[in-house]
Amino acid sequence: MGQLRKGRYLVREAVGVHDLARAHALRALCFQAPDQDAFDARCTHILVEDTHSDTLVCCFRVLSMAARDISHSYSAQFYDLTRLSSYQGQVLELGRFCIHPDHTDPDILRMAWAWLTGRVDAEGITLLFGCASFAGAVADVHLDAFAYLHSRHRAPAAWRPGVKAGQVFEFGSGLDGHGGDVLRAKAGLPPLLRSYLGMGGWVSDHAVFDRDLGTMHVFTAVEIALIPPMRATLLRAWAKDKGAL
């Protein structure tokens, strides 16, 4: 997948240790903790840059594999993905997605999705997945969001991830009848997760506590063939018409 450019923003693959160091710095800023792991060496790192100020405004990493190898993904450390190993085709894991807290232009997220759309189409990806993080490792703060996800966006039984991590918040028992406020729930969803759900995505039936980063995350996936046609058309328009180099 090549570079994408629109206006002041450029999306490109990281090249060399300097680019990776910049991504690590942005991740540390967003997670408020140093963040490096063994998967960094296996993944392709993507940078979204503001070329007017030479600022890294977004970064993420991707790792493609056959679905049968999904147990070797980052997410598989925390979720039992045995059911998804029988999914057909090539899958793409999206991780460590960060947007600089001082940069709120919605075109940043659009440009990231434009690049991802091009990658999905180029490689024939059938499933996009990853861990969507909530700030703060305290379940009570996120009950409205969890209730909303559990009632409207729970994974199909055929693909539902099982519990693997040591510390989890299981929606079925932990919510204990908590209906939640839908407006407050939607407002509390991370931007990346909102994008997943807008494409028909689904989540695990539990959240995992990440004490190292001070977050909670849910397994999230989008089945490419089930993305609403209008949304798919818009995504491909961005991928094709925004100055591919």
Domain ranges of the chain: 4-241
The verdict on domain 4-241 having CATH code 3.40.50.720 is: no
Confidence (pLDDT) at 154: 97
150-171 pLDDT per residue, tens: 999 999 999 999 999 999 999 9
User: Which residue, among 6, 5, 40, has the nearest Cα to 22 in the 3D structure?
Assistant: 40
Structure confidence at residue 61 (pLDDT): 98
Q: What is the pLDDT of residue 1?
A: 61
Residues 6+ apart with CB under 8 A from 21: none
Q: What is the pLDDT of residue 3?
A: 86
**Does the CA dihedral 24-65-216-100 come out positive or negative?**
positive
Largest Cα span, the chain: 52
Kindly write down the DSSP assignment for every residue of 22-34, as one continuous string. HHHHHHHHHHTS-
Cβ atoms 35, 28 nearer than 8 A: yes
CA 161 from chain centre, in angstroms, equals 16
- Chain-centre distance of CA 27, in angstroms? 14
Residues of the chain with pLDDT under 50: 243-245
pLDDT in the model for residue 11? 96
State residue 177's pLDDT score: 75
Give pTM, 2 decimals: 0.93
Across 14-153, the runs of DSSP E, i.e. the strands, are: 44-50, 55-66, 79-80, 90-99, 125-135
